[in-house]
């Protein structure tokens, strides 16, 4: 029995939309910039630094630059929403505890 091992070279048909170098974004995760869809080389790829998952959002360096003010706005919107959510959960908890108190009282009285 003979075994032939062949190595195939992956040929890059995609090029960075910013500098024209071979794009790696296509091979890394099969997707480019999450804003404009551009293919990027490694140098022009920015991974979301606030995303600690295995597949953080990828941005081209242009979109990252353009998006600074929008990221700040999105951050403050999320912060406000989080605070409102916590406030509602606090009210919910208070109501539930009060309800439990009433239920206990009526049980003791009967
Ligand atoms: Zn590039
Ligand atoms: Zn982009």
- Report which bound ligand comes closest to the CA of 44: 1
Q: Check residue 108 and give its pLDDT.
A: 66
Distance 54 CA to ligand 1 centre (A): 23
As beta bridge partners, residue 47 has: 58
**Which residues of the chain are modeled with pLDDT < 70?**
8-12, 24-30, 107-110
As beta bridge partners, residue 45 has: 60
CATH code, 31: 3.30.40
Q: Check residue 5 and give its pLDDT.
A: 76
Asked whether residue 54 falls in the same domain as residue 75, the answer is no
Asked whether residue 46 falls in the same domain as residue 85, the answer is no
Asked whether residue 57 falls in the same domain as residue 82, the answer is no
Q: Write phi, then psi, for 12 (nearest 5 degrees).
A: -80, 115
Asked whether residue 60 falls in the same domain as residue 78, the answer is no
């Amino acid at each position: 029995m003979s075994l032939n091992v062949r190595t195939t070279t992956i040929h890059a048909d995609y090029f960075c939309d910013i500098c024209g170098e071979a794009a790696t974004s296509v091979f890394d995760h099969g997707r480019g910039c999450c804003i404009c869809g551009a293919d990027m080389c490694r140098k022009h790829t920015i991974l979301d630094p606030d995303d600690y998952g295995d597949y953080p959002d990828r941005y081209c360096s242009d979109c990252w630059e353009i998006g600074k003010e929008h990221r700040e706005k999105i951050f403050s919107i999320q912060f406000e929403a989080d605070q409102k959510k916590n406030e509602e959960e606090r009210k919910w908890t208070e109501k539930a505890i009060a309800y439990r108190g009433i239920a206990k009282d009526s049980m003791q009285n009967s």
